Structure 1
């Protein structure tokens, strides 16, 4: 039985298609491939339209590092040809080109912000809250430096230009795959959702990490433990869709996760409550909803004090 494609995978693929169509949309073969892809799952139509709208209308200056977006006069006939019967949905959207000299750029997200960035090579980055990275497209290398925070990458295949993420002294190398990197003070977490990557630190031998595995790379000691299979990758990457999925985490751990995304911080004032484990699904921007649900479950109460949401025993 073939696993049903996840919504996150469809959104990532749609973003890659938008970039490809922007570059190669005059090619009838590309148009035919796109129409075949769209026909394969009805969810893809909406994902494509959203990705194209984002490619054109979202904050282009910050998302792609362009001081002034450069519009290309693309005939509407080409748009209609590219998406066949879906042309009416995409009408009015203009394409944007990226000058080569502008390809090395910095991207950042504010507290609570989650951003998808289509790259010039067809890859896509999803950047989590309070994160910052720099992408440099070079003739023989696609280099990314994660300066803080977390990002997930769906990497377009290009054997002649490896895709290397630098997170402090930690390095992650891929050719065509999908993985996330989260930078901590002591090292980096790497989760692989597709394909294979190599992980190492300066002076250390690379370790292979395959789809469905995670590994922690210590800044000083490198990858000491073998990669572990992880059945919770979808939960850990739910932030890409603006979600926090709890599956037995303690309330203290859950509060820390919500606090990554919000100015209003959750404080678990009672040690007994802090150790209770919770299961639930929430939006990243709904700390109040989580606190109320936890209080109801464990007979606690929620108090608000300034910018704090205090969860305490009832």
Structure 2
């Protein structure tokens, strides 16, 4: 009788399969071996889920842009007292693994469940098939999983889908459109009145809608879902993909956005609002990588770099600049 694998052996195999899946689609032989391993032990799917999540969270963060000076943006980080862990992003170093494992300890949600995050919260949602959904701040999804298909509806916000291979198609519904795949990693964002933004990190995702022909999105492509049937996916550089997905590590990456745009982005993650009283300062370009849960630290760095004055009034951080500094 074959000796039963230890938990360490299964975890090691899960790490190896995760690395192989990240390199691209499996061949038929590799997929058969993967499915055999996945179904061979009831512990395999949980181990794969842990390995995928830890791999995703531990991607190295880096400053973006040739003119970025990390020293100019360093700021000691102190967590304000009284803020709960649920409302604070703690995706750094050992906290990454700890937060991930806490999320993995959650029960797999039943079909029909609506999962949501509050402002400043990131949540990892495991699915029955071994796939995961990482919800960004202030986001909601509805899960539907049956014998024929795996389905998730993005109701609002932003989510990253890491789809495990399965005979059933995986479908994400958003605003009457359907994104389908068998194995991929992709981000879908639905914010306010802006067009739905789809970004494919790996694998292939097919778009289907009643008023347009199917469109295939490969790795490193992006598509804004509009009413224009002629619109095609745009190929984007891998570094831009990394920047767009930096929120998965609790970070915000900017490369040339205005300070006003950066302030709007920070507002998605915190009740603290950055107000820029000077129009010229609001138009200054910002480049760098910043903690999403630290708008005050970001504002201090901006004040230092752009010779501005910072004043905090309750939940408002006010930035101004003298005429001489302009």
Task: Report the TM-score, using the length of structure 1 for normalisation.
Answer: 0.70
1-side partners of 2:179 and 2:139: how far apart?
Answer: 18
How far the C-alpha of 1:123 sits from its partner, in A, is: 0.2
Partner residue, 2:80: none
**What does residue 119 of structure 1 align with?**
127
Aligned pairs, number: 248
Contact 1:212 1:229 in 2 (8 A): yes
Partner of 1:164: 171
Question: 2:212 aligns to what SS in structure 1?
Answer: coil
CA change 1:260–1:52 in 2 (3 A) is: closer
Q: Report the CA distance between 1:50 and its aligned residue.
A: 6.5
Conserved 8 A contact 2:278-2:321: yes
Q: Which residue of 2 aligns with 1:250?
A: 258
| 1:44-55 paired onto structure 2 within 5 Å | 51-55=100-104
| 1:191 aligned residue (199, 204, 207) | 199
Match of 1:99 in 2: none
CA offset at residue 54 of structure 1?
3.6
How far is 1:106 from its partner? 1.1
| Residues 230, 202 of structure 1: alpha-carbon distance in 2 compared, 3 angstrom cutoff | farther
Where structure 2 has 5 or more consecutive residues not aligned to the other structure, the ranges are 1-14, 22-35, 60-93
| Pick aligned residue for 2:187 from 168, 180, 188 | 180
CA distance in 1 between partners of 2:314 and 2:147 (Å) = 52
Alignment CA distance shift 1:271-1:225 (3 Å): farther
- Contact 1:217–1:223 at 8 Å: present in 2 too? no
User: Which residue of 1 is the match for residue 223 of structure 2?
Assistant: 215
Paired residue secondary structure (1:290): helix
Q: Pick 1 or 2: higher relative contact order, CA cutoff 8 A, min separation 6.
A: 2
The 2-side partners of 1:181 and 1:248 are apart by 23
Contact 2:205–2:218 (Cα < 8 Å) also in 1: yes
Matched, 1:269 2:277: yes
Partner-residue secondary structure (3-state), 1:134: strand
Structure 1 equivalent of residue 143 of structure 2: 135
Q: State the 1:269 CA deviation.
A: 1.6
- Tell me the equivalent position of 2:66: none
1:262 Cα deviation after fit: 0.3
Asked if structure 1 preserves the Cα contact closer than 8 Å seen for 2:104 and 2:124, the reply is: no
Please list the CA deviations of residues 207-259 of structure 1 after superposition, one character each: whole Å capped at 9, or x if unmatched: 111111111011x3356244232431111111111111222221111111111
Q: Which residue of 2 aligns with 1:69?
A: none
Measure, in 2, the Cα distance between the counterparts of 1:49 and 1:286: 20
**Superposed displacement of residue 201, structure 1:** 3.2
Q: How far off its partner does 1:272 sit?
A: 0.5
Instruction: Answer yes or no: is the 8 Å Cα contact 2:131–2:162 preserved in 1.
Output: yes
Deviations 1:139-158 (A, max 9, x none): 11111110100000010112
Distance 1:264 1:175, change over 3 A: same
Q: Aligned residue for 1:89?
A: none
In structure 1, distance between residues paired with 2:99 and 2:270: 25
> Which of 289, 303, 317 is 1:295 aligned to?
303
Pairwise CA RMSD: 3.3
| Mapping for residues 1-314 of structure 1, pairs under 5 Å | 13=18, 25=41, 51-56=100-105, 60=106, 64-65=108-109, 102-158=110-166, 160-184=167-191, 185-218=193-226, 220-222=227-229, 224-231=231-238, 232-314=240-322
Q: Is the 8 A contact 1:199 1:223 kept in 2?
A: no
Alignment deviations for residues 153-195 of structure 1 (CA, whole Å, 9 cap, x no partner): 010112x311111111232111101000001324310011101
Q: How many Å separate the matches in 2 of 1:145 and 1:222?
A: 22
